[in-house]
Amino acid sequence: MSRYVYFQVTDSSGAGVTGDSANLTMRIVKDGVSSAATNTPAEIDSTNLPGWYSLLLTDSELNGNSILITGTSSTSGAIVDAVTILDQQVDATSSVLDVLSTLKTNVDATISSRLAASSYTAPDNSSISAIKTQTDKLTFNASNQV
Q: Convert the pLDDT of each residue in 40-53 to its tens digit.
A: 999 999 999 999 99
Low-confidence ranges of the chain (pLDDT < 50): none
Q: What's residue 16's pLDDT?
A: 96
The rounded distance, in Å, linking the Cα atoms of 95 and 88 is 12
Q: What's residue 120's pLDDT?
A: 74
Write the burial class of residue 127 (CB in 10 Å: 0-12 exposed, 13-18 middle, 19+ buried). exposed
In contact, 43 and 52? CB cutoff 8 Å:
yes
Closest CA to 55 of 10, 85, 87, 86: 85
The rounded distance, in Å, linking the Cα atoms of 86 and 83 is 10
The rounded distance, in Å, linking the Cα atoms of 15 and 8 is 10
The greatest distance separating any two alpha carbons of the chain, rounded to the nearest whole angstrom, comes to 82
The rounded distance, in Å, linking the Cα atoms of 68 and 26 is 10
| Candidate CATH numbers 3.40.50, 1.10.357, 3.40.1710, 2.60.40; the one for domain 3-86 | 2.60.40
